[in-house]
Amino acid sequence: MSKEVKVPTLGESVTEATVGEWLKQPGDPVKVDEPIASLETDKVAVEVPSPVNGVMGAHAVEVGATVEVGALLATIEDDVAAGEATQVEPREAPAPKEDTPPPASPAPAAAKAAEPADAQTLSPAVRRAVLEHGVDPSSIKGTGKDGRLTKEDVLAAASAKRPSTSSGRADEEEAQKSAQPEPVEGRAPRREERVKMTRMRQTIAKRLKSAQDTAALLTTFNDVDMTAVIEAREKFKDTFAKKHDIKLGFMSFFAKAACLALKDIPAVNAQIDGDEIVYFDYVDISVAVSAPNGLVVPVVRDADSKSFAQIEKDIADFGKRAKDGTLTMEDMKGGTFTISNGGVFGGLMSTPIINPPQSAVLGLHRIEDRPVVRDGQIVIRPMMYIALSYDHRLIDGREAVTALKTIKEAIEDPMRMLIDL
């Protein structure tokens, strides 16, 4: 018997997904609850578990296909039935007659070509070229992004293995012409590769473009002297880590400083809903986290009532699960304000885009020593540029500048966060 595997419920208002990767190939043994496929939704990657023990059956859809909730993905064959079926194959075939040549075994290249097409994540064009030319993709060095194979790589490998005959040379020349442009002396051949956008990347593109088209975006800047925060971290880092089992980072300081500013300037923590303004008496901070498939923004809920340690733990957990691809839709639902830290990648200054329907986002950047004037003297201090992008339909310039100034003052004098100033 076989068990059908269907697309599971993906979350509120999510009705379809894209098949990102098959984790099990036909014939592979699978255990109950073992992931067999990865689906990409608008925000997260969802693993589909096997409902039973058995052997992976046929794939009903290919990688890259769009599937709706409840659609058939694959089948799982009963392990007993699959085991019985596999016992039939090893039986010895009748000995061939002396005057009948033994059947030729399949060409090694062709056999290998069919296998890696499923074993690797190949684009449809590359997979088709592998099958047409009977080459082994595992023996080809990819020149695409992250070492991936391109169609030109396959065509070049196919032409290299052809016999050196007149027709073979003609075919080889034709393949080489189609694979790459005529090389210019002293210049390496130029290549290009087309890769379909993932569903997550398409959603990111639509949401960011929508934010630009809908909101009246404006950005205000300031700079922050990080001396006090750095000294506090250095002084308490060992005690903090020992007591809370987490490192004391910069994000918790900025999250708490933002909470002060949002409480003082409610418009920065509000949203436009039709012709109404929604004000929140809580602060749910979306934290931009880099994941393998794109930027995600899980939410630290009730950040205004959480301790430094709990905020650091939440952010560390989000970062780990983003890399593992285990974030859920619930993790990213909601949020009233966003913090994006481009400084971890070395960014000096940027104009971050708001995360709709939110009305503001705080951008952090790298810390570098710069000369500043203190008490009439030029001194070297660790400085950071900070930016607040906001929706000018809701937030006036005075409110945005005041909110950013409040964050600056809280970071430069962390005691303000303790006595709520």
Active site residues: 392, 396
Helices 227-244 and 397-412 pack at an angle, to 10 degrees, of 70
CA 242 and chain centroid, separation: 32
CA distance 20 to 41: 9
Rg of the chain (C-alpha set): 29
Task: State the helix-helix crossing angle for 124-133 and 108-119, rounded to 10 degrees.
Answer: 170
**Residue 55 near residue 237 (C-beta atoms within 8 A):** no
Strand order in the sheet with 35-40: 45-49, 35-40, 16-22, 66-68
Q: Cα 33 from chain centroid?
A: 24
* b/e map 386-410, b = 16+ CB within 10 Å: bbbbbbeebbeeebbbbbbebbbbb
8 Å CB contact between 47 and 23: yes
Q: Residues for the chain: how many in total? A: 421
